[in-house]
Amino acid sequence: MQKTIKSHRISIRTRGNGLKLRQGRFRLDMRKFFFTERVIKHWTRLPRAVVESPSLEVFKGRVDEVLRDMVYNSVASRSRAVTVPLCSALVRPHLECCVQCWAPHHKRDIEGLERVQRRATELGKGLEHKADGERLRDLGLFSLEKRRLRGDLIALYNCLKGGGREVGSVSSPRVVKHRTRLPREVVESPSLEVFKSRLDEVLRDMV
């Protein structure tokens, strides 16, 4: 009788999914996430020129300048060796996640994405007042529009090399048009790595 009880206890002890849930306490500090609580503190820190803006558009412009200064001051180093990896690691993944599925078509959407990268690259010292194309060339980066085109051409290359079973999913007119303009040496690259390097050279020379 005693043996059967022990074995029963062991079986109960080993039964379960192994994923234990921990019950937490109700958070009493939710009030700090309310709109009034999280905004008033920052509102009182704004300069008088921002708070007393005559119009909404003027207010937006002045707030952007204040926030830009906050970002500049929070970066310990503004050298290119720091800003380029930061942009590639923290900004671009959010702007390019699954971009082949939701690639923007409207001009305002394209410019909105480019504006985010523009502000990130302006963190580099001495790059604040340069034109977008010149700043990206100095940093060795492509615009997001070129990056999307690069991703589409790479996906099409993989499909063609893999037998062409999924070519229809990426062979939209915006991709086929650019592929037909590529030099033969790029299209006939023996491997993906060679294709990427040759494609980058072509895209770098594109306006």
Rounded CA-CA distance 74/47 in Å is 18
Between these two residues, 75 and 168, which has the higher pLDDT value?
75
Name which residue leads in pLDDT, 186 or 96.
Answer: 186
**Res. 1: pLDDT tops 60:** no
- Encoded tokens for 34: 């309310």
Quote the pLDDT of residue 53.
Answer: 92
Helices marked H in 75-191 — which ranges?
A: 80-86, 92-96, 99-102, 107-121, 132-139, 144-161, 173-180, 184-187
What is the pLDDT averaged over residues 32-39? 69
User: Average pLDDT of the chain?
Assistant: 77
pLDDT recorded at residue 198? 94
Q: What is the DSSP string of 82-98?
A: HHHHHIIIIIHHHHHTT
Tell me how far apart the alpha carbons of residues 177 and 167 are, in angstroms, rounded to a whole number. Answer: 14
Cα–Cα distance measured from residue 85 to residue 121, given in angstroms and rounded to the nearest whole number? 10
pLDDT at 186 over 80: yes
CA dihedral 130, 134, 138, 144 (to 10 degrees): 110
How confident is the model over 45-76, as pLDDT tens digits? 888 898 899 999 999 888 888 877 776 666 66
